[in-house]
Structure 1
Amino acid sequence: MRVLIVDDEPLILNGLVKIIGEAAPLGTEVFKANNAFEALDLMKDYMPDVTVTDLHMPEKNGFELIEAARDNGLCDRFIILTGYDEFDYVRKALRTGVVDYLLKPIDKNEIAVLLARINQELPSEADQECSGHAKRILAYTKTHYMNDLSLDHLAELMNLHPNYISSLFKKVTGETFVSYLNAFRIKEARKLLRSQRQLSVNVIGKKVGFEDKHYFTKVFKKYTGMTPGAYREEGEAEGNADGGGTSGGFSQ
């Protein structure tokens, strides 16, 4: 099991590393980060099974870290630590879907029981390795979708066979790699068409990874039923109908 601990106070962070290292099941790897940004970078390399995070951190708090990690497929289990015994925080934590919510200072026995339970819920080693590969590949794809991506490129980067990656994509997403990549690119293109009206359709196509404007139009129409230009015009018409001028945005 891999555990990432995040806290912006060095003394507390080192104390947590010591306590959790002693309380965690045998063979657990423990990593630490001083803030949410450092945590997200570490997640890309180590794909933790669970992240133990403080809530109150500067620039990006614990809830924002959880949201960013989940959006990028970097971690889906979280334990929140905070010194604030307030119901609103507990309620928000539960709505966020965290594993548990613990108050500082943490109880060693309590965290030991919690980590043991999580360890038992983890898939077998073979399934875990497969899941780890899938998370890394999906995270990389979502972050670099605008680049020239291919199965061969991913295979070289991840040190895996292209056929393995192809099968893994189909198993995890239900789609082929190309279908998943194109769908993600079109989703981003739709956002830009509505929010960046000063950019031409051709420029937006290139921004999301389509060098050929005709291919971009073809793929966009396949996924949305209309051309990029028509999609933008529809958004403008909706904005004008609502009295919002040209400000109407797209969210997904």
Structure 2
Amino acid sequence: MKVLIVDDEPLILNGIVKIVNESMPLGMEVRAASSVPEALDVMKAYLPDVTVTDLHMPEKNGFDLIEEARESGLCDRFIILTGYEYFEYARRALRAGVVDYLMKPVDRDEIAELLKRIAEELPIERDSSGYAIHAQRILAYLDKHYMQDLSLEHLAGLMDLHPHYISRLFKKETGENFVNYLNGLRIREAKKLLNHQQHLTVNAIGQRVGFESNHYFSKVFKKFTGVTPGAYREDRT
């Protein structure tokens, strides 16, 4: 199991890392970060199974980290650490779907027991063979159904997997989050239609590849290619 510890105070950060290293279950890896931007950078390569994060940090706080990490599929399990013993923080942490909420100073036995429980609860499908099979099934489904109204929740229901698991799978397998991968697939198909189906309008092509809004289609197309769909077609005629 891979653990990321995030705290902006070096003494506290080093102390928590030391506690986790000394009490962690066998086979656990630990990384550290001192800010939300640094944590997000570490996550992109490390993809932690659980992140232990302080709430109160400058510029961006622990809740910002949770939101951005989940949106990008970088981590879906969080333990909140804070020195502020107010119920409102605990309630907001629970709303954010964190695994647990711990007070500073960290109790060695408490965090050791918590990490052990998380390690035992990690889904069986994360073994390498199961992971590869799930990735293959999901990517094959998208290749055939990219033009439909798709979401992580829709795929999760079809594949009988958790949306967060699928989100992490996309990041690890493709280097992209789900939305970027799907949009990239749609834009590749749109370019083919713009090149070879001159009788179709730009709006019709956008709808055919899965964009209900012509404005959104143009916006995404320009993001991926640097030009609008109309300009792309004109350059090739």
TM-score norm. by structure 1 comes to 0.61
The CA deviation at 1:212 is 7.4
- The 8 Å contact of residues 4 and 52 in structure 1, kept in 2 or not, is answered as yes
Identity across matched positions, percent: 49
Pairing 1:91-170 to 2, within 5 Å after superposition: 91-124=91-124, 127-129=126-128, 166-170=136-140
Q: Which residue of 2 aligns with 1:239?
A: none
Q: Which residue of 2 aligns with 1:220?
A: 206
Q: Which residue of 2 aligns with 1:47?
A: 47
- The 8 Å contact of residues 78 and 100 in structure 1, kept in 2 or not, is answered as yes
**Aligned partners of 2:46, 2:217: CA distance in 1, in Å?**
43
**Aligned partners of 2:4, 2:81: CA distance in 1, in Å?**
13
Q: Which amino acid aligns with 2:142?
A: E
**Stretches (4+) displaced over 3 A:** 128-133, 163-168, 182-189, 208-219, 224-232
The CA deviation at 1:27 is 1.4
**Aligned partners of 1:177, 1:2: CA distance in 2, in Å?**
34
**Aligned partners of 2:51, 2:205: CA distance in 1, in Å?**
38
The CA deviation at 1:219 is 4.6
**Aligned partners of 2:204, 2:181: CA distance in 1, in Å?**
11
Cα distance, 1:92–1:217 mapped onto 2, change above 3 Å: same
Q: Which residue of 1 aligns with 2:76?
A: 76
- The 8 Å contact of residues 52 and 78 in structure 1, kept in 2 or not, is answered as yes
Q: Which residue of 2 aligns with 1:175?
A: 142
Pairing 1:220-239 to 2, within 5 Å after superposition: 220-222=206-208, 223-225=210-212, 227-228=214-215
| Structure 2 stretches lacking a partner, 5+ long | 151-178, 196-201, 220-237
Cα distance, 1:229–1:113 mapped onto 2, change above 3 Å: closer
For the residue of structure 2 that corresponds to 1:80, the secondary structure is strand
Cα distance, 1:210–1:115 mapped onto 2, change above 3 Å: same
- The 8 Å contact of residues 55 and 81 in structure 2, kept in 1 or not, is answered as yes
Cα distance, 1:26–1:225 mapped onto 2, change above 3 Å: closer
Residue 35 (str. 1) matches residue 35 (str. 2): yes
**Aligned partners of 1:230, 1:168: CA distance in 2, in Å?**
23
Show CA shifts across 1:75-98 (max 9, x none): 000000000001110000000000
Cα distance, 1:112–1:35 mapped onto 2, change above 3 Å: same
TM-score norm. by structure 2 comes to 0.64
Q: Which residue of 2 aligns with 1:246?
A: none
Show CA shifts across 1:120-158 (max 9, x none): 00134x72446877xxxxxxxxxxxxxxxxxxxxxxxxx
**Aligned partners of 1:120, 1:229: CA distance in 2, in Å?**
43
The CA deviation at 1:4 is 0.2
Cα RMSD between the aligned structures? 3.8
Cα distance, 1:14–1:27 mapped onto 2, change above 3 Å: same
**Could you tell which deviates more after superposition, 209-218 or 79-88?**
209-218
Q: Which residue of 2 aligns with 1:236?
A: none
Q: Which residue of 2 aligns with 1:249?
A: none
- The 8 Å contact of residues 211 and 217 in structure 2, kept in 1 or not, is answered as no
Cα distance, 1:213–1:83 mapped onto 2, change above 3 Å: farther
- The 8 Å contact of residues 146 and 182 in structure 2, kept in 1 or not, is answered as no
Q: Which amino acid aligns with 1:74?
A: L
The CA deviation at 1:24 is 1.4
The CA deviation at 1:25 is 0.6
- The 8 Å contact of residues 166 and 176 in structure 1, kept in 2 or not, is answered as no
For the residue of structure 1 that corresponds to 2:142, the secondary structure is coil
